[in-house]
Amino acid sequence: MSKIGIDIEKAKQILQEGGLVGIPTETVYGLAANALDKDAVLKIFEAKNRPHFDPLIIHTDSIEKIKQYVSDFPQWAKQLANAFWPGPLTLLLPKKNTIPDLVTSGLSQVAVRIPNHTLTLQLLKSLDFPLAAPSANPFGYISPTKATHVAAQLQGCVDYILDGGSCEVGIESTIVGFEDEKITIYRIGGLALEDIEKLVGKVQVKINQSSNPLAPGMLKSHYAPKKPLFIVDVAAFLKENNSKKFGVISFSKIYKGEKIISKTLSPSSNLKEAAHNLFAALRDLDESDVEVIIAEKFPDSFLGRAINDRLERASVSL
115 binds, among Mg ion, ligand TXA, none (CB under 5 to 8 A by kind): ligand TXA
Please report whether residue 145 would count as binding Mg ion according to CB under 5 A.
no
**Cβ neighbourhood burial of 256 (10 Å; 0-12, 13-18, 19+):** exposed
If the CB atoms of residues 26 and 37 are measured against ligand TXA, the closer one turns out to be 26
Task: Determine the Cα–Cα distance for residues 200 and 178; give it in Å rounded to an integer.
Answer: 13
With CB under 5 A as the contact rule, the residue among 135, 173, 266, 315 that binds Mg ion is 135
Burial 58-87 (b: 16+ CB within 10 A, else e): bbbbebebbeebbeebeebbeebbeebbbb
Q: Which of 145, 172, 149, 112 is nearest to 310 (CA)?
A: 172
Specify whether the CB–CB gap between 126 and 8 falls below 8 A: yes
The interface region with ligand TXA, picked from 38-46, 144-152, 192-200, 209-217 by CB under 6 A, is 209-217
The secondary structure of the chain in percent helix, strand, coil, rounded to multiples of 5, reads: 30, 20, 50
With CB under 6 A as the contact rule, the residue among 11, 28, 147, 281 that binds ligand TXA is 28
Task: Determine the Cα–Cα distance for residues 150 and 157; give it in Å rounded to an integer.
Answer: 10
Q: What is the DSSP letter of 44?
A: H
Please report whether residue 89 would count as binding ligand TXA according to CB under 6 A.
no
Please report whether residue 24 would count as binding ligand TXA according to CB under 6 A.
no
Pairing of strands 21-23, 30-34: antiparallel
| Amino acid type, 165 | G
With CB under 6 A as the contact rule, the residue among 133, 191, 280, 282 that binds ligand TXA is 133
Site for ligand TXA in 251-290 (CB under 6 A): none
Please report whether residue 214 would count as binding ligand TXA according to CB under 6 A.
yes
215 binds, among Mg ion, ligand TXA, none (CB under 5 to 8 A by kind): ligand TXA
Please report whether residue 60 would count as binding ligand TXA according to CB under 6 A.
no
92 binds, among ligand TXA, Mg ion, none (CB under 5 to 8 A by kind): ligand TXA
Q: How far is CA 248 from CA 197, 208, 265, in A?
A: 33, 26, 10
The interface region with ligand TXA, picked from 215-223, 244-252, 265-273, 275-283 by CB under 6 A, is 215-223
Task: Determine the Cα–Cα distance for residues 92 and 114; give it in Å rounded to an integer.
Answer: 13
90 binds, among ligand TXA, Mg ion, none (CB under 5 to 8 A by kind): ligand TXA
Q: Site residues (CB under 5 A) for Mg ion?
A: 135
Q: Site residues (CB under 6 A) for ligand TXA?
A: 25, 27-28, 30, 54-57, 90, 92, 104, 107, 109-111, 113, 115, 133-135, 172-173, 175, 214-217
